[in-house]
Amino acid sequence: MQYMKTKITYILIIIAVSTVLAFGYVMNNEWFGKGDIIPFAIYSTILGILSSLLTNIYTKQISKLNSALGFIATLIISIVQTVIFTYLLWFVIGPWIGTISFPFQIFWFASITLANLYILVDSENKFGKKQFGFCILISTLLLSLFYLTNRIKDGMAQTQNFDIFCITHRPSDESPTINELTKYNLMIQPPINQTKITKVNKSITI
């Protein structure tokens, strides 16, 4: 009974964590890619089921290690699992893997690592709940820092000015106007000198 409970919990951790991370990422990006969440949850379910088949072997091996080596082994195994299942997904859907609108590899790595840490704590290894809580705290701080950095970068990008220089070639001697050269309501600082553009056009004609 305990063996099946551990397996089910392991699978649920992978599904829940990966799906919640994907949902949060899509929500933060104005719901761009919301259609990828359900297929990703299905892929994560398959990943969790296949990974759970190895939990018994994994538990026996890490029980022989001390807490530090057990933690390092958990990280290495999580990386290997993420790489293997990323390649498996690529073999299944091919180049369409590039159309997934969020970094699913990072979400899978986070969920697999958390699930493997659960196995580590549940095993006979000395890595206990205190160490597990410390790892969760560090991970939360790193994710918060990453999120805050991205928000600051996005805020700075919204106040940028762009200088647009357009070089065109036309068979006539008529110089294009500024309105013809600018699109998408971008502000030009400083304004482009129309005489300068005419000179550029003449030099291209030569």
Give residue 187's pLDDT band: very low, low, confident or very high (50, 70, 90).
very low
84 vs 75: CA distance, rounded Å:
14
Is 0.75 topped by the overall pTM? no
For the chain, the domains span 2-127, 161-206
Q: Is the pLDDT of residue 193 over 50?
A: no
Is-contact 110 21, C-beta < 8 A? yes
Structure tokens at 146: 């990453």
Is-contact 113 81, C-beta < 8 A? no
Q: Is the pLDDT of residue 50 over 80?
A: yes
Q: Average pLDDT of 198-206?
A: 41
18 vs 161: CA distance, rounded Å:
37
Q: Average pLDDT of 185-203?
A: 45
How far the first Cα of the chain sits from its last, in Å, is 85
